[in-house]
Amino acid sequence: MKKRIWTGLFAILLLLNLAVIPVHAIDLQLSAPSAVLMDLATGTVLYESNSHERLAPASVTKIMTLLLIMEAIDSGKISWTDQVTTSETAAAKGGSQVYLKVGETMSVEDMVKSITVSSANDCACAMAEFLAGSEAGFVEKMNLKAKELGMEDTRFVNCTGLDDDPSAEHHLTTAHDIALMSRELLLHHPDIKRFTTIWMDTVRDGTFGLSNTNKLVRFYEGTTGLKTGFTSSAGHCLSASAQRDGLELVAVVLHCPSSTDRFQSAKALLDYGFANYALVDAKGDTDLPPVEVVLGKSATVQPVPQGPEQLLIDKGKLSSVQYDVTLEPSIQAPVEKGAPLGTLTVKAGEEVLGEIPLVAESHIPRLTFTDLFTQMLRGICMAQ
């Protein structure tokens, strides 16, 4: 037990030595009152301005709605072809919609497409009822998921972000929390990008047209999503994601004075991120030789990196990245899986960018007395 505790502490201490990516002290002069830029792979915040201020998110709320839908699909709870029947409550939703009729059925796939591309409030409500029996029941799941993701400043009261009832004044979140749920959706449910990257499409067998409210899909290179929002109280909001050269970023801006301002602010954040940061493979092309195991049932154990698969670095250091491996010459059996074996140091010149623990890939038991006796006899027989 003590050995496992020390192994865990060793790993934690080495992970704490990972280089901290500097958030450049720069004023992007955004028109957005609240903003954040986050790296998708590592969750590192690259820029923020009032990112923890609690504000109304409007239809950016639907990122959480889509996250719960995608979880249900990916877990097999529902399928893309399931038919969803429209209730009176769903049909009565205002704002952006595809004008569902009471009793009308639509596939889960077309519902998701309508929510993602056209921000359809009626489809969001219909899907909430389909998954939880009622919008109120679905909202409970939204808040539980928010808590699970560490969205400490978020409270949802509906699945749409509409401010058409008195309780909507308590429907609040932050740019930082929106980035967290955006990252969760894009990172763990990438199939959503089939819809978030659509510019124009149709539902109802081609009879009803959809046009993406996120204009970056057409006008910003590498856009992967994600969701716009607007109400008179929330202003113009956006969670925008884009990918270039393997680096995917999410930029969130809230309460912008105009739609133009939200897109310009998001573009400025994304441009800044792509200009200043890059991802490198934490292991690179480094060969990790096996470590000798003394008195083990296997003669060697393979070291593997423990921690992030990628490191975020300052883009200016990309060309000078190098890897140094330090390994124990041998280790005494028994070897626990995850036992410390060494360190992989990532450098740019003499600067250490990160130190990644190298640990045992598998458990290697110690040779028993019987094993040793058998080996001795085998050695004698071979010598004769």
Query: Is 62 among the catalytic positions?
Result: yes
CB-based contact 186:225 (threshold 8 Å): yes
- 342 token code pair: 């060494």
- What Rg value do the Cα atoms of the chain yield, rounded? 26
| Residue 119 is a catalytic residue | yes
Backbone torsion region of residue 198, taken as left when φ is above 0, otherwise alpha when ψ lies between -120 and 50, otherwise beta: beta
Using CB atoms within 10 A of its CB, is residue 81 exposed (0-12), middle (13-18) or buried (19+)?
exposed
Which position among 49, 59, 114, 241 bears the catalytic label? 59
Catalytic residue among 34, 49, 51, 62: 62
From the candidates 114, 119, 241, 265, which is the catalytic residue?
119
Spatial distance between the Cα atoms of 329 and 74, rounded to a whole number of angstroms: 45
Please list the active-site residues.
Answer: 59, 62, 119
